A and B are shown apart, each in its own frame.
Chain A
Amino acid sequence: MAGSYANSGEYIKHHLTNLTYGQHADGSWGIAHGADEIKEMGFWSINLDSMAFSIGLGIFFLWIFHKAAKKASTDAPTGLLNFVEMLVEFIDDSVRGSFSGKNPLVAPLALTIFIWIFLMNLMDLIPVDHIPWLASLVGIPYLKIVPSTDPNITFGMSLSVFALVIYYSIKMKGPGGFFAELAFHPFPKFMMPINLVLEGVTLIAKPVSLALRLFGNLYAGEMIFILIALMYSGGWVLGISGGFLQLGWAIFHILIITLQAFIFMTLTIVYLDMASQTDH
Chain B
Amino acid sequence: MNFNATLIGQTITFIVFVWFCMKYIWPPLMAALDERNARISEGLAAAQRGQQDLEDAQVKVSESLNDAKAQAQEIINQAQKRANEIVDEAKDSARGEADKIKLAASADIDQQVTAAREQLRKEVSVIALAGAEQILKREVDAKVHADVLDELVAQI
Indicate if the CB atoms of B33 and A89 lie closer than 8 Å: yes
Contacts of A116 in B (CB 8 A): 17
The one of A54, A66, A151, A156 in contact with B25, judged by C-beta atoms closer than 8 angstroms, is A66
Q: Which residue of A lies closest to B7 (CB)?
A: A152
User: B13 contacts A54, CB within 8 Å?
Assistant: yes
Range class of the A interface residue count: 35 or more
> With an 8 A cutoff between CB atoms, is B93 at the interface?
no
Chain B residues, Cβ within 8 Å of A55: 13
Chain A interface mostly helix, strand, loop or mixed? helix
- Contact between A111 and B6 (Cβ–Cβ < 8 Å)? no
* A153–B24 CA distance with the chains assembled, in angstroms: 24
In the bound complex, how far is the Cα of B13 from the Cα of A38, in angstroms?
Answer: 23
Contact of B18 among A20, A42, A109 (CB under 8 A): A109
Set of chain A residues within 8 Å of B21, measured between Cβ atoms: 62, 65, 108-109, 111-112
Q: For residue A70, which residue of chain B has the nearest CB?
A: B28
CA distance A185 to B68 in the complex (A): 84
Q: Does B1 contact A (CB under 8 A)?
A: yes
Any A CB within 8 A of the CB of B11 = yes
Q: Are A58 and B17 in contact (CB under 8 A)?
A: yes
Instruction: Please name all residues of chain B whose beta carbon is closer than 8 Å to the beta carbon of A51 when the two chains form the complex.
Output: 6, 9-10, 13
A105 near B30 with CB under 8 A, answer no
Inter-subunit contact B29/A85 (CB<8 Å): yes
Contacts of B26 in A (CB 8 A): 88, 107-108, 111
* Contact partners of B141 in chain A: CB under 8 A: none
Contact with B along A34-66 (1 / 0, CB 8 A): 000011011111110011001100100110011
Most chain A CB within 10 A, of B8, B11, B13, B14, is at B14
A-B CB proximity, top 8 nearest: A156-B10, A72-B32, A152-B6, A108-B22, A108-B26, A47-B6, A108-B21, A69-B28
Question: CB within 8 Å of A: which residues of B?
Answer: 1-11, 13-15, 17-18, 20-22, 24-26, 28-33, 35-36, 39
Beyond the given pairs A45-B5, A66-B20, A150-B6, 20 more chain A to chain B contacts, judged by CB atoms under 8 angstroms and listed by A's residue number, are A47-B6, A51-B9, A54-B10, A54-B13, A62-B20, A62-B21, A62-B25, A65-B29, A84-B29, A85-B33, A88-B30, A104-B22, A105-B22, A111-B21, A111-B26, A151-B3, A152-B10, A156-B11, A156-B14, A159-B11
